[in-house]
Each structure stands twice: as structure tokens, then as C-alpha cells.
Chain A
Amino acid sequence: AQTVTQSQPEMSVQEAETVTLSCTYDTSESDYYLFWYKQPPSRQMILVIRQEAYKQQNATENRFSVNFQKAAKSFSLKISDSQLGDAAMYFCAYRSANTGNQFYFGTGTSLTVIP
């Protein structure tokens, strides 16, 4: 089974600054999708950003961008101009393109935004 590792249980960032959350994964597949989800205290998981493995270009969504290094199996999330509303648990997730709809999640990074 694929494994997803988030090595930073907790991170903090000053409001308006930039923070990078790390994620690595282990797979023998060449075609897959990677996701970052945010889970605020309301508990609902919210999709932040998505990356297809076959695309070399890094995905961006407004203040959120990724650094996808396929050979290194690394998928980090950069949050620019951090806002108080960004405070949440962030989960990295992997989905195979070929073997069903199951997502494999990392253990999460708790992000605190300091005013």
C-alpha cells in the first residue's frame, strides 16, 4: 500500500508571512494524483489544491502553491500571505490513477497563524 508521510506535526507562521508544509509519499506507480486538504475545527475536510503526477507544472490556487518533485516523491504546500483563517490541520493525500478511488492520507500538520 502507498504511504504518505508528513514529518511536521505542528507548524506556526506569522500573519502575512509564508509557510511551507512538507509531504513525501512512497509509490511504485507512475500515474497518480496528489492533494492537500485543510481541516478546520469545524471538522469538514476542504480541498486546497490538487496535482496530477503527469503534469510537470506545479499547481497553484491563489495564495496556495505546491512544489511537486516526482523523482523525489515530494509534494510540499506553500501558503503565501498567511491569514488567520488558514489555521487548521493540513493533510496530504495520494490517490492512484489506476487502482480505485481510495485515498491515502498523511498524519497531518497542525498550522497555527500568529497575529
Chain B
Amino acid sequence: KAGVTQTPRYLIKTRGQQVTLSCSPISGHRSVSWYQQTPGQGLQFLFEYFSETQRNKGNFPGRFSGRQFSNSRSEMNVSTLELGDSALYLCASSLVGGATYGYTFGSGTRLTVV
């Protein structure tokens, strides 16, 4: 059974650009959540999607957005990149009922903004 797949693994962007990250959840998992991990702030919740609808959103500016497709694959987009957006972005999927049994995480996308 394939795990959570995130692409790309690494990304370097310039300030002001925008970026799109992709996440394919485990087959059968309909909930996809995104987290930002930085040395200073740790792991912070970005948003959660379930059945193509955003169900929950963390405290991030509107430059951070996401969506989920009918096959449960999800993308997150960051517009007008800032240096502080450099981070590891982790995607996690869970079963229909939510993450009561925990998430399954991908290996993340390392975004560097220069």
C-alpha cells in the first residue's frame, strides 16, 4: 500500500514568486491536512481538507491556500513568497472519521525562499 506522496521533495523559489505543492494521500484516506515545520515555530497547522471542502484552517495569512480534488489529492499554494515561508511543508492523511488513530505523514517538501 503506497504511503503519502509529496512532490516535489525540494524547491527553491525567489521572493515574490508563488509555489504549488502536491500531496497524494493513502488510498482510501479522504482527509488531508497540511503543516508547516520551521526550527523557530515548530509544527503549525495550515488547513485540513475533506471531500474537497476545507474543514479547518490555521492561523496563516491568505497567501496560503489549498484545495482538494475528487480523488482526494491535495495541493497547497503560497503566493507572494516571503523569506519566512522557508520551511518543511508536511502533508498528512487520515481516514474518513478523522485522525483519531493518528495521521500518516508524507516526507514533506522542503521549500527555500531566496
Contacts and interface: CB of A to CB of B under 8 A. Distances in A.
Interface of A: 33, 35, 37, 42-47, 50, 91, 95, 97, 100-108
B70 interface: no
Contacts of A105: 35, 42-43
Contact of A45 (B42, B58, B90, B99): B90
B43 A43 contact: no
Interface string B62-106: 000000000000000000000000001010101000111111111
Interface string B35-76: 100000011010010100001101000000000000000000
A25 B38 CA distance: 21
A105 B33 CA distance: 14
Contacts of B107: 42-44
